[in-house]
Amino acid sequence: MTVARLFGTDGIRGIAGREPITPETGLRLGRALARFLDRRNLNKEVVVGQDTRASGDMLAHAVASGVASGGGNALMAGVIPTPGVAFLARDRKAGAGVVISASHNPHEYNGFKLFSGQGFKLSEPEESEMEDLILSPESEMSAELPGSILNLPDTQDRYVAFLKQQVSPLNLHGMSVVLDCANGAAHKAAPTLFASLGARTEVLFADPDGRNINAGCGSQHTEALARKVVKGRAELGLAFDGDADRLTAVDEKGNTLTGDQVLVICARMLKEKQALSGNLVVSTVMSNVGLKSALGEAGIAWEATGVGDRLVVEAMRARGASLGGEESGHIVFLDHHTTGDGLLSALMVVKALKHFGRPLSVLADFMRVFPQVLLNVPVREKPEISKVRGISEAVEAAEKALGDRGRVLVRYSGTEPLCRIMVEGENAEEIKGHAADIAHAVKEAIGNP
């Protein structure tokens, strides 16, 4: 296996059938995970779940075979949201959980996400250890006594019951909600959840065929959802990504809220309920500059981390915070769950509607969103940005022009060969120009020909 580094910002990800997203990697990963658990004298049961991609069965069974070959027991959860696997691993007191998913990416992508038995994503040192184990020749060696591959029963029902318990009592009778399930892992759980709470639900994109996951739908494509909300005069729309750990909300007027706006709404609700631990919200450096201002106006502290929900959770645990998340829609309610959960976030949004007694469009105004431009430039390599001539000068020029009226963030994707360029400021045309200048510099210096 000729892979320099397996783990990115959210597990191992790439195009299915190409290294490292192959059955061979899945087999080695399963064996490595059994050894990882054995080293720690942990339960060698591993919960394995997946989203709806056509390659999911192939990779899930490869991981399960690796776990059993390494002497562990693989517990197959089937198609279920990523946070559902985190819950099942903790509820079952398993040693770990593995999710076969590429989140919001197109169907041809897939990946491996790993959780500890406590339901948290592995730390960076733990990922490094797992990587060494996967790449070690010993990952090709089976245990003397193989384990078993078993099907976990009632996984959807148990997960839905867990979610309802987190927001009990919550009665949605009379509320009209449109759900966009992204043809992904939430296509059964989300409609079941909201219907069981009494909501009038209209369900979109809940007919997966293995290739239509995230295709013009889901948390990154809310146009159809917005039209349906307005046409049906629903109170809100809720869109999930392929593995349902993200949420994007649409208000009754068809406007799409950012993850930062959802954070502010939930933070203010929790603060009024005296349930915002540490009076603190944690998010990443990708959050809009309006987030800090909105939280400050509400008397709530804010802390920023690097990109990735794992880093958010680590900072939350260190600071005793109960709420954090990413602008992309990963929201973490640490008093209720160990990881970002799109369905739980959706329930918290409707709780906020009930709490404030105002439409979502009014709650969205809790935060002013500064204009932002995001550009992705394909790259052939990922050198340190500050040391690349042309790029560093373009970034410096933009920062100087914006001053304290905006900001620039240029970083590489942790899961794809992309350079991500973000520019924020008060004037939309000005920031478009700065972003274009930086993108041009990236293309000239390290662009993928």
DSSP three-state, residue 247:
strand
Which H helix or E strand runs over 345? helix 342-356
The tens place of each residue's pLDDT in the chain, 449 residues long, gives 334 479 987 899 999 999 999 999 999 999 999 999 999 999 999 999 999 999 999 999 999 999 999 999 999 999 999 999 999 999 999 999 999 999 999 999 999 999 999 999 999 999 999 999 999 988 888 888 999 999 999 999 999 999 999 999 999 999 999 999 999 999 999 999 999 999 999 999 999 999 999 999 999 999 999 999 999 999 999 999 999 999 999 999 999 999 999 999 999 999 999 999 999 999 998 898 889 889 999 999 999 998 888 999 999 999 999 999 999 999 999 999 999 999 999 999 999 999 999 999 999 999 999 998 999 999 999 999 999 999 999 999 999 999 877 889 999 987 789 999 999 998 999 999 999 999 999 999 999 87
Pairing verdict, β 149-151 and 73-79: parallel
Contact 389, 382 (CB under 8 A): no
Instruction: Determine the Cα–Cα distance for residues 159 and 79; give it in Å rounded to an integer.
Output: 12
In degrees, rounded to 5, the angle at the alpha carbon of residue 285 between the alpha carbons of residues 279 and 287 is: 70
Please give the pLDDT value at position 1: 37
The position carrying tokens 């839905």 is 160
Judge contact between 137 and 120, C-beta under 8 A. Answer: no
Contacts for 285 with CB less than 8 Å, ≥ 6 apart: 304, 305, 306, 307, 409
**Residue 107 DSSP label:** T
Q: For residue 269, which amino acid is it?
A: M
Residue-level pLDDT at 140: 85
Q: Please provide the CATH number assigned to the domain covering 259-364.
A: 3.40.120.10
Q: How far is CA 290 from the centre of its chain?
A: 22
C-alpha separations of 446 from 74, 83, 184 in Å:
43, 36, 35
CA–CA separation, 227 and 239 (whole Å): 13
Q: Which CATH architecture has domain 372-446?
A: 2-Layer Sandwich (3.30)
Q: Pick one of 3.90.190.20, 3.40.120.10, 2.40.270.10, 3.40.640.10 as the CATH number of 12-153.
A: 3.40.120.10
CA pair distance 104, 417, nearest whole angstrom = 16
Task: Sheet with 45-50: list strands edge to edge.
Answer: 12-15, 109-116, 96-100, 45-50, 73-79, 149-151
Q: Give the span between the Cα atoms of 265 and 230, in whole angstroms.
A: 22
pLDDT of residue 416: 83
What CATH number should be reported for the domain whose range is 165-250?
3.40.120.10
Per-residue tokens: 69: 């070959």
Per-residue pLDDT, 2: 38
Angle at 365 between CA 364 and CA 369, to 5 degrees: 90
Domains 165-250 and 259-364 alike in fold:
yes
The Cβ-side half-sphere exposure at 435, using a 13 Å CA radius, reads: 24
Indicate the domain borders of the chain: 12-153, 165-250, 259-364, 372-446
The one-letter amino acid at 97: G
Q: Which residues contact 230 (CB under 8 A, 6 or more apart)?
A: 252, 253, 254
| Helix/strand/coil (H/E/C) assignment for every residue in 154-210 | CHHHHHHHHHHHHHCCCCCCCCEEEEECCCCCCCCHHHHHHHHCCCEEEEECCCCCC
pLDDT at 239: 98
- Return the closest-CA partner of residue 448 out of 376, 386, 389: 376
The single residue of 65, 101, 103, 139 carrying the catalytic annotation is 103
Do residues 321 and 311 lie in contact, with contact meaning Cβ atoms separated by under 8 Å?
Answer: no
Q: How far is 240 from 185, CA to CA, in rounded Å?
A: 9
Q: Is 103 a catalytic residue?
A: yes
Say what the pTM is.
0.89
Cα–Cα distance, 96 to 392 (Å, whole number): 42
